[in-house]
Amino acid sequence: MEQTVRKQRILSGIQPSGTPTLGNYIGAMRNWKLLEDEYDCLYMIADLHAITVRQEPAKLRQQSIQLLALLLAIGLDPEKNVLFFQSHVPQHAQMNWLLNCYTYMGEMSRMTQFKDKSAKHADNINCGLFTYPVLMAGDILLYQANLVPVGVDQTQHLEICRDIAARVNGLYSGVFTIPEGYYPKVGARVMSLQEPTRKMSKSDADDSFISILDGPDTVRRKIRRAVTDSDGEIRFDPENKPGVSNLLSILSALTGETIDSLAESFADKGYGDLKSAVTDATIETLVPIQTSFNQYMADKAYLESVYRTGAERASRIAERTLAKLMKKIGFIAK
Ligand code: AQP
């Protein structure tokens, strides 16, 4: 008799806190496409996470719908992948409360993203920013995800998710699958063009990142102005030459050539040559995505059908896990 083996499940997400950067694309989004046949994938637009930092309502709506169009534009098939808005699946907020009661203040206060973002938004250090990793843990655990494809900036959050899952399983056996991180080999941490010792972020100053929707002239200008150093030598040395190393990593991620072979072929060239190669590779990557993005944005009814179906499919899975945990904790079933 033929047996059907359930594919391993993947959950990942991205916040609509701006337009995705080349870092989001290389570190996370483009890998999602590579996984869609082998895994059972759910990709979420993490709008609940986005409000840990103040968002302008009209802009948040616009960025959210644009992000959905971008996920389609990078080639994600909405039949194979469940694409949804986090706020459309209420189980995320419910699970968040439950898991908050199984997470310690000390654990949260060690999170580097909390420290970074509190420093950046000193006027709005809210409780949501503090418990962001608990919401994220719930996102993953609700779907019993086996793998979570993310950039390395999320390693600490993923570890906390695993700790919380193990703790809950220790109290009430067999509730959650313990997930593993899935990191890209190249480009897991794309750095800012202006401050190459910090990661590239979509909510930072405009010149520090390339947005997926930047046109060729903007890409050219931003890469021309990217910070390098004054010794003029092209080699991969992130500690002493963070700007040049970042450009080499981006080029490697976009062209598929190894960093070593790129460093060798640029060894007797200047920074201008390296920058123009990075510019060409970036434009070549982004233009087809932008063309497809514009087509999806012109069809709002289609986008709506994708996110409605996505929320229904996600909700069905999430409800099973939520109900299981609530029963184990001791709540009376509805
Ligand atoms: N610079 C980066 N290099 C590689 N991967 C990155 N990711 C983010 N920045 C880089 C990965 O992108 C995915 C989605 O991230 P997110 O939007 O959920 O949150 P984030 O990590 O906080 O991304 P940003 O761009 O820095 O957003 P803001 O500015 O709003 O905080 C994740 O898998 C992340 O690892």
Q: Closest Cα to residue 152, out of 114, 105, 192, 188?
A: 188
Predicted confidence (pLDDT) per residue in 123-180, tens digit = 999 999 999 999 999 999 999 999 999 888 899 999 999 999 999 999 999 999 999 9
Q: What's the confidence (pLDDT) of residue 4?
A: 66
Quick: pLDDT tens for 170-222.
Answer: 999 999 999 999 987 776 789 999 999 999 998 888 899 999 999 999 999 99
Question: C-alpha distances in angstroms, 305 versus 253, 255, 262?
Answer: 33, 35, 44
Of 16, 7, 5, 4, which Cα lies nearest the Cα of 203?
A: 16
Distance in angstroms (rounded) separating the CA atoms of residues 198 and 191: 6
pLDDT above 60: residue 1? no
Q: Which helix (H) or strand (E) holds 297?
A: helix 271-297
**Separation in Å, CA 94 to CA 53, 134, 321:** 21, 11, 11
Q: Is 46 in the pocket of ligand 1 (CB under 6 A)?
A: yes
CA atoms within 13 A on the CB side of 8: 12
CA of 271 to the centre of ligand 1 (A): 27
**pLDDT for 204:** 87
**Nearest-CA residue for atom 34 of ligand 1:** 151
Residue type, 109: S
CA nearest neighbour of 160 among 109, 116, 107: 107
Mutate which of 15, 30, 124, 250 to test ligand 1's pocket (most atoms within 8 Å of Cβ)? 15
Q: What is the largest CA-CA distance in the chain?
A: 71
Residue-averaged pLDDT of the chain: 95
Best residue among 154, 189, 209 to mutate for probing ligand 1, ranked by most atoms within 8 Å of CB: 154
